[in-house]
Amino acid sequence: MTELADFHVHPNYSIDATGTIRQFCDRALEVGLRHLCFTTHYDVNPRRTEQDGYWRYEGKRILISDRMLDIYFAEINRSRVFYEQFGLHIYRGLEIDYFPGVEADVERLRAKFPIDFAILSVHCLNDIAISDKREAPAYFLNKTVGEMADDYFSLLRQAAACPGYDSLGHLDYYVRYGRNYYGDEIDRIEIERFDEVFAFLRGGASGIELNTSPYRYGSENFHPGQDMLARAIKAGVEVISVGSDSHHPEKFGLGLKHAYDLLRQLDIEPKFPLVK
C-alpha cells in the first residue's frame, strides 16, 4: 500500500500562502510523510491578472512568468536532492486555475517545464473567485442555487476535457462558501450532474483528487464527498491523488490519514506518488 503522500501543497510562492518549501519539507518529516508535491497556484486568466496573476518571491509580488517558473522548479530540485537523504520524495507540480482558453498554456507548460504533476481546478465563476470569502458574496448573492450549478458544471465539464493535467481538483468546491448562502439547498444539487464530467475522465490519463481541505476548517469531510466519490469510482474514474491543499505549514497534512483509510476500505490506491 502506498505510503502517506500529500500531492496538493502551496508554499509561499502562492500569494495566499505562507511557509517556505524547506519549512513544508521539514514539517513533512515531522508528521511522517514520505511523499510531497508542491502545487503552487498558476492563475493566468487575463481578466483576473491583478487579483491572481502574481507570485511572491523574496518578499515581493512578482508577475507570473516563465522566469519565475524556472526559479520555482530550481528550488524544488535543490530540495529533492537535499531531502532524499532523509527518505522524503519531493515532486514538482502546479495547481492551474481553469478558464476557457487556458488549454494552450497547459500544453505549453507540460512541454517546457519539468512538471511531475498538474492539478486543474475551478476557482472562479463569471471571473469571480467563489473560493475567496471576500469575493464569494459578489457571485452567490446574485445567483440562485440552480444558476450557480449551471455555471459551475458548465465550466467543470470544460476543465475535465482539457488535455495535459493529471488530477481534477476539489471536485465539488462550490460547497465551501456556497453553503453559507444556499444552506441545505446546496445538497439538493443533482449528483447526476457529475456524470458528464466523469465521462471525460473515464479510462483517460486524468482523474480526480481526494482533497482533505475541509479538515482545516474543523469538518471531517472531503472534496468530493463520499457519495460523489463512490459514484466516480463506479463510473470508472481513477482517484489520482490525495492532497491536503495546505497553504500554511501548521495545517499541513490534516485529514490525510483519514483519506487513505477511506481509500483502503474502497480497495483504491492512488496513482500518485510515483515512487512506491
Percent residues over pLDDT 90 in the chain: 94
pLDDT value, residue 58: 95
* Contact (Cβ atoms closer than 8 angstroms) between residue 202 and residue 239: no
Give a yes or no: residue 275 inside a domain: no
Q: Where residue 1 falls among pLDDT bands split at 50, 70, 90? A: very low
User: pLDDT for 10-34, tens place per residue?
Assistant: 999 999 999 999 999 999 999 999 9
Say what the pLDDT of residue 276 is.
Answer: 43
Would you say residue 173 has pLDDT above 80? yes
Q: How confident is the model at residue 2 (pLDDT cuts 50, 70, 90)?
A: low
Is the Cα dihedral 28, 114, 103, 54 positive or negative? positive
Inter-residue contact 266 to 30 (CB < 8 Å):
no
Pairing of strands 167-168, 117-121: parallel
User: Looking at the domain assignment, is residue 270 inside a domain?
Assistant: no
The domain in which residue 173 lies consists of 5-265
Tens digit of each residue's pLDDT (9 = 90 or more) over 68-107 = 999 999 999 999 999 999 999 999 999 999 999 999 999 9
In a domain, 232, yes or no: yes
- Whether 89 is in a domain gets the answer yes
Cell representation of residue 151: 455555471
pLDDT greater than 90 at residue 204: no
Would you say 237 and 201 are in contact if contact means Cβ atoms under 8 Å apart?
A: yes
Crossing angle between the packed helical segments 21-30 and 66-83, to the nearest 10 degrees? 30
In a domain, residue 158? The reply is: yes
Q: Do 171 and 194 touch, CB atoms closer than 8 A?
A: yes
Beta pairing partners, 168: 120, 208
Domain count, the chain: 1
* Helix and strand numbers, DSSP H then E, in the chain: 10, 11
* Domain of residue 228, CATH code: 3.20.20.140
In a domain, 120, yes or no: yes
In a domain, residue 274? The reply is no
What pLDDT does residue 167 have?
97
Q: Give a yes or no: residue 271 inside a domain.
A: no
Tell me if the pTM is above 0.85.
Answer: yes
